[in-house]
């Protein structure tokens, strides 16, 4: 606890500490090769008081690491647009690739404590931030990340005198922000918030409080802990978390075999209602935009189920300034080398924007499961990770719409044959589609499990009967209109 913090004494004199630091520095240089070979991603979070020397410490730590193997994230520098994104967004987006170091100059702790102590958020929201952080850190651990967390501590007087010194020189005075001074003025409030945060978030990766009074000691301690942690992490090998069932309120989604695929809509009715719904969506999109409600629309479905046409009908009435469509293909190397949700986090819309995903993160429990692109632990754990991800989006205020575009095997066969026989459609059909078709029973099992395990109250799956594409499009747009209207009404109340 910072409250009862006593400065530790390691019994080393200055000279031997210096020599020891040099040795550890060399060790770290060697470890960069080890972690690269072990494909271990390492996150070093350096939190602490303003003016405690976090930046200087990070610069020293990276000074002997090749820039090819390390990156630096600055909590402060990346906040231009931060309030338009979910709390965890910048941290997820910053995750390093396998085999690399990421050093963070303040991160999720500072962001939460700052909001709390400047009273932007209340105690309830602070608790929710803590919960988010615990889930985030567990996901990191389970997906093989090594996370080392420092808090650099200095006393109120020490902080004040450092701030005074910085302010006395016109070249450095800008470094002391209003917030930094506020922190010093309310030192006790911040200390208690840091304490509370550390106490509640030490379960996955422990906190290490370092004494920032003397830089020599600070850097020696940091080197020691870092090299020890890397050594232990490499020895233990990359961790794969087991499946873990957290409680989420679930939504009852029909079973695939109970879905009635015979539903139809005639062309005249379709044309009329399509126009009405699109006009309505266009109006509502204006309000969504103005009220800064973020919207995430997910499309999954069988090959040839009609996702593309369905998406186009939804996109047409949207203002292009306010939406993006993300077609999701196989991950590229830099995406594969990170937490599988990374590439989706990076595509989260800003508040007021709509993101349409043509295939989604649920690929983890479908194609990746069936094709063996991840381990059994990985995909079994993913149901919970997906629910956590969507719950973050929901808590942030997002409307989440998930559509499973459904057809039966005969309809798929007919559409495949149509594509094969119609020159203008042949690009739509590949050998892989035929191979996937043979795995229909495997996919059916995976899809059923996905529908069952990731249909939460805040992000339920909607099964869209699409043997008749017209019916499917209208049903989808109706659900969109309904969700938009409810979200707008909630904000009005």
Cα separation, 429 vs 416, whole angstroms: 7
Q: How far apart are CA 475 and CA 306, in angstroms?
A: 13
How many residues are recorded in the chain?
493
User: Which listed residue (242, 321, 435, 489) binds a copy of itself by CB under 8 A?
Assistant: 321
The DSSP bridge pattern shows strands 399-406 and 461-465 to be parallel
Strand partners, 153: 211
80 lines the binding site for a copy of itself (CB under 8 A):
yes
The answer to whether the beta carbons of residues 248 and 459 sit under 8 Å apart is: no
Q: What angle do helix axes 469-492 and 267-290 make, rounded to 10 degrees?
A: 30
Among residues 88 and 356, whose Cβ is nearest to a copy of itself?
A: 356
Phi then psi for residue 144, to 5 deg, are 90, 5
Among the listed ranges 62-70, 252-260, 263-271, 462-470, the one in contact with a copy of itself (CB under 8 A) is 62-70
What token pair was written down for 332? 């590229």
CB closer to a copy of itself out of 19 and 33? 33
Residue nearer to a copy of itself on the CB measure, 63 or 417? 63
Buried b (16+ CB within 10 A) or exposed e, 366-376: bbbbeeebbee
Angstrom distance (rounded) from CA 340 to CA 135: 15
**Residue choice 118, 134, 155, 325 for contact with a copy of itself (CB under 8 A):** 325
The answer to the question of residue 221 lying near a copy of itself (CB under 8 A) is no
Please answer whether residues 137 and 201 qualify as being in contact, where contact means their C-beta atoms are separated by less than 8 angstroms: yes
60 lies in the binding site for a copy of itself (CB under 8 A): yes
Q: Is 492 in the site for a copy of itself (CB under 8 A)?
A: no
Closer to a copy of itself by Cβ: residue 171 or 438 = 171
Q: Whole-angstrom Cα distance, residue 272 to residue 102? A: 55
Element (H, E) at 207: strand 207-211
DSSP state for residue 456 in the 8-state scheme: B
Contact call for residue 481 and a copy of itself (CB under 8 A)? no
Q: Quick one: 73 or 461, whose CB is closer to a copy of itself?
A: 73
Q: CB 195 → a copy of itself: shortest distance, Å?
A: 26
Nearest residue (CB) to a copy of itself, 79 versus 375? 79
| Closest to a copy of itself by CB, 24 or 130 | 24
- Nearer to a copy of itself (CB atom), residue 75 or residue 86: 75
CB of 329 to a copy of itself, least distance (A): 7
Say how many residues touch a copy of itself, by CB under 8 A.
Answer: 56
CB nearer to a copy of itself: give 172 or 421. 172
Say if residues 219 and 21 touch (Cβ distance below 8 Å): yes
Q: Does 327 bind a copy of itself (CB under 8 A)?
A: yes
Q: Pick out residues in 227-286 that bind a copy of itself (CB under 8 A).
A: 283, 286
DSSP letter at 348 equals: P
**With contact defined as beta carbons under 8 Å apart, do 259 and 406 qualify?**
yes
| Rounded CA separation 4/351 (Å) | 42
Pick between residue 132 and residue 436 the one whose CB is nearest to a copy of itself. Answer: 436
Write the DSSP assignment of 470-487 as a string of letters. HHHHHHHHHHHHHHHHHH
Residue 67 interacts with a copy of itself (CB under 8 A)? yes
Residue 194 burial (10 A CB sphere; 0-12, 13-18, 19+): buried
Site residues (CB under 8 A) for a copy of itself, limited to 346-365: 356, 358
Is residue 178 at the binding interface for a copy of itself, with CB under 8 A as the rule? Answer: no
Stretch that binds a copy of itself, among 13-21, 225-233, 318-326, 381-389 (CB under 8 A): 318-326
CB of 30 to a copy of itself, least distance (A): 5
Instruction: Provide, rounded to whole angstroms, the least separation between the CB of residue 128 and a copy of itself.
Output: 27
C-alpha span between 72 and 57 (Å, rounded): 12
Binding flag, residue 194, a copy of itself (CB under 8 A): no
**CB of residue 215 to a copy of itself, shortest distance in Å:** 14
Nearest to 449, CA basis, from 396, 493, 355, 383: 383
Where in 416-435 is the site for a copy of itself (CB under 8 A)? 424, 427
Residue 308 interacting with a copy of itself (CB under 8 A): yes
CA distances from 129 to 83, 86, 268, 393 (A): 14, 11, 51, 13
Q: 464, 480 in Cβ contact below 8 A?
A: no
Q: Does 319 bind a copy of itself (CB under 8 A)?
A: yes
* Interacting positions 97-156 with a copy of itself (CB under 8 A): 103, 105
CB 222 within 8 Å of CB 150: yes
Give 76 or 449: the residue with its C-beta nearer to a copy of itself. 76
* Residue 432: CB atoms within 10 Å: 9
Closer residue to a copy of itself, CB minimum distance, 11 or 333: 333
Out of 7, 275, 312, 478, point to the residue binding a copy of itself (CB under 8 A): 312
Binding-site ranges for a copy of itself (CB under 8 A):
29-30, 33, 36-37, 55, 58-60, 62-64, 66-68, 71-72, 74, 76-77, 80-81, 103, 105, 171-172, 174-175, 283, 286-287, 289-290, 308, 311-312, 315-322, 324-327, 329, 332-334, 356, 358, 424, 427
């Amino acid at each position: 606890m910072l409250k009862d913090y006593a400065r530790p004494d390691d019994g080393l004199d200055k000279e031997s500490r210096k020599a020891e630091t040099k040795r550890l520095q060399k060790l770290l240089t060697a470890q960069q090769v080890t972690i690269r070979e072990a494909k271990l991603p390492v996150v070093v979070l350096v939190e602490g008081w303003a003016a405690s020397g976090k930046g200087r410490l990070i610069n020293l730590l990276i000074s002997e690491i090749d820039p090819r193997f390390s990156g630096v994230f600055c909590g402060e520098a990346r906040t231009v647009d931060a309030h338009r994104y979910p709390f965890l967004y910048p941290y997820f987006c910053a995750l390093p690739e396998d085999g690399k170091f990421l050093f963070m100059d303040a991160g999720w702790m500072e962001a939460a404590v700052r909001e709390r102590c400047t009273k932007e958020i209340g105690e309830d929201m602070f608790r929710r931030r803590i919960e988010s952080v615990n889930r985030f850190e567990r996901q990191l651990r389970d997906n093989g990340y090594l996370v080392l967390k420092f808090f650099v501590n200095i006393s109120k007087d020490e902080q004040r005198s450092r701030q005074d010194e910085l302010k006395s020189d016109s070249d450095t005075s800008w470094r002391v922000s209003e917030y930094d001074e506020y922190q010093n003025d309310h030192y006790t409030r911040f200390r208690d918030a840091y304490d509370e945060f550390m106490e509640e978030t030490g379960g996955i990766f422990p906190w290490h409080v370092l004494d920032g009074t003397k830089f020599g000691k600070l850097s020696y301690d940091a080197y020691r802990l870092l090299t020890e942690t890397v050594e232990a992490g490499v020895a233990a090998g990359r961790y794969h978390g087991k499946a873990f069932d957290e409680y989420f309120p679930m939504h009852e989604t029909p079973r695939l075999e109970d879905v009635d695929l015979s539903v139809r809509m005639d062309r005249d009715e379709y044309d009329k209602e399509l126009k009405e719904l699109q006009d309505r969506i266009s109006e509502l999109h204006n309000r969504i935009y103005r009220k800064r409600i973020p919207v995430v629309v997910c499309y999954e479905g069988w090959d040839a189920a009609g996702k593309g046409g369905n998406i186009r009908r939804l996109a047409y009435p949207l203002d292009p300034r306010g939406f993006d469509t993300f077609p999701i293909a196989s991950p590229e190397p830099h995406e594969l080398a990170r937490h599988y949700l990374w590439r989706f986090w990076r595509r989260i819309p800003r508040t007021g924007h709509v993101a349409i995903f043509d295939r989604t993160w649920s690929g983890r429990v479908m194609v990746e499961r069936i094709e063996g692109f991840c381990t059994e632990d990985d995909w079994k754990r993913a149901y919970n990770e997906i629910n956590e991800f969507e719950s973050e989006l929901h808590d942030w205020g997002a409307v989440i719409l998930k559509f499973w575009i459904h057809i039966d095997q005969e309809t798929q066969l007919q559409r495949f044959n149509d594509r094969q026989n119609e020159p203008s459609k042949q690009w739509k059909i590949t050998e892989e589609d035929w191979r996937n078709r043979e795995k229909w029973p495997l996919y059916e099992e995976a899809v059923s499990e996905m529908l069952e395990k990731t249909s939460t109250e805040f992000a339920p799956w909607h099964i869209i009967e699409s043997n008749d594409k017209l019916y499917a499009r209208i049903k989808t747009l109706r659900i969109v209109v309904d969700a938009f209207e409810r979200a707008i009404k909630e904000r009005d109340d």
